[in-house]
Amino acid sequence: MFYHFLYPLKKFFFGFNLFRYLTFRSAYAVVTALVLTWIFTPLIIKFAKQKKIGETIRKDGPERHQVKSGTPTMGGVAIIISILITIFLWGKLNNKYVWLVTGSVAAFGLLGFFDDWLKLTRSKGLALFVKLFGQFVIAGIITWIIYKDPDLNQYANDFYVPFFNNSVLNLGWWFVPISILVIVFSSNMVNLTDGLDGLAIGLTMFATLAFVALIYASSNYKFATYLRIPFIKNTGELTVVAATIVGASLGFLWYNTHPAEIFMGDTGALSLGGVLGVMAVLLRKEVMLFIIGGVFVAEAVSVILQIFSFRIFKKRIFLMAPFHHHLELKGWQESKVVIRLWIIGAILALIGVSTLKIK
């Protein structure tokens, strides 16, 4: 909104020319989203306490987690509202990429909200099949829009791998099912990681910061040419969107850090994971997503391996899945698990961005 209303006023005062620059709008998108999350999260905490909307802690987990029972949840509502308002204020609202990613945030957020609400009102959320079906439908709609829109699918058939200059494979129509799987897996891997205070939201912040760099490089012709990566026209506005997610994540972490005052629930986790997947598909950086989000991937894979091993061999690989609970049951304190996984996440984000130059 600011771009459309204030930038044209540059002819009256040169200072309004600042609204033209992505770096300026991205920086203030971070600040705006952070402040809005600071405002909305306490309101949701207060509302949740009044209505006795609290998290139910699983009995088979680490015993120390039982003290968290009743902690307000659905904090993802504050994250999503802050993201949507900030994008409206600082984004370029005539950009298709902005609308697609914003729609992804809202759609996955609504699915997560419905699941959280059922857990709180009926003590049981959506059935796994129903939740997955919803995710596949949302991802399918998003992918089909990308595939059919010539402005969005500039490189839709090409599959890129780090360390290679050019596309290694032409996907053709396989782009659709592969992209759907990437988005759904991304949404779930963040959701599965959301089990310790500050863990998922902190890792999301590191991953999204990496995407800020990827978006800026891919949308700038000179940088893209120098780095020999696909130049994807008009994606620069996603820098503002990604910066907004960073700000909202940082603001929510203020309340979600140990001991958490509120959990983000599926409302936030499904949405943040889904939008990372959507941005990866738009930028043709699917493989990069799984490098940058390596901790998320490890957490999701630990659950898959645990289920497979128990059903086939009747044995558990880990003391408990996801992997962060295994570390707790091995004797690690929660804060140690979180901070060490943050460190690994930050390193993986740097490695992912560095692959732009390694060819």
Cβ partners under 8 Å of residue 348, min gap 6? 206, 291, 292, 293, 294, 295
Distance CA(318)–CA(307), nearest Å, equals 10
Distance CA(136)–CA(133), nearest Å, equals 5
CB 238 within 8 A of CB 214: no
Q: Give, for 170, the enclosing helix (H) or strand (E).
A: strand 169-170
Helix (H, G, I), strand (E, B) or coil at 169: strand
Least confident of 66-75, 129-138, 297-306: 66-75
63 confidence band (pLDDT: 50, 70, 90): low
Distance CA(234)–CA(238), nearest Å, equals 9
* Short-list 282, 204, 202, CA closest to 236: 282
Provide the b/e sequence for 186-210 (b: ≥16 CB within 10 Å): bbbbbbbbbbbbbbbbbbbbbbbbb
Report whether pLDDT(7) > 80: no
* Short-list 225, 146, 143, CA closest to 177: 143
27 confidence band (pLDDT: 50, 70, 90): very high
The answer as to whether 317 is a domain residue is yes
Report whether pLDDT(109) > 90: yes
The answer as to whether 3 is a domain residue is no
- The pLDDT assigned to 99 comes to 95
- The pLDDT assigned to 359 comes to 66
- The pLDDT assigned to 61 comes to 59
Q: Give the total residue count for the chain.
A: 359
71 vs 155, which has greater pLDDT?
A: 71
Q: What is the pLDDT of residues 114-163, one digit of tens each?
A: 999 888 777 778 888 999 999 999 999 999 999 998 888 877 678 888 87
CB 146 within 8 A of CB 281: yes
The answer as to whether 282 is a domain residue is yes
The answer as to whether 4 is a domain residue is no
The answer as to whether 166 is a domain residue is yes
The answer as to whether 319 is a domain residue is yes
| Number of structural domains in the chain | 1
Report whether pLDDT(314) > 90: no
Q: Phi first, then psi: what are they for 90, rounded to 5°?
A: -110, -10
- The pLDDT assigned to 238 comes to 96
Structural domain including 344 reads: 22-354
Least confident of 190-194, 226-230, 321-325: 226-230
The answer as to whether 5 is a domain residue is no
- The pLDDT assigned to 40 comes to 97
The answer as to whether 226 is a domain residue is yes
The model's pTM = 0.93
- The pLDDT assigned to 286 comes to 93
- The pLDDT assigned to 229 comes to 86
What secondary structure does DSSP assign to 239-308, as a single string? HHHHHHHHHHHHHHHHHHSSSPS---HHHHHHHHHHHHHHHHHHHT-HHHHHHHTHHHHHHHHHHHHHHH
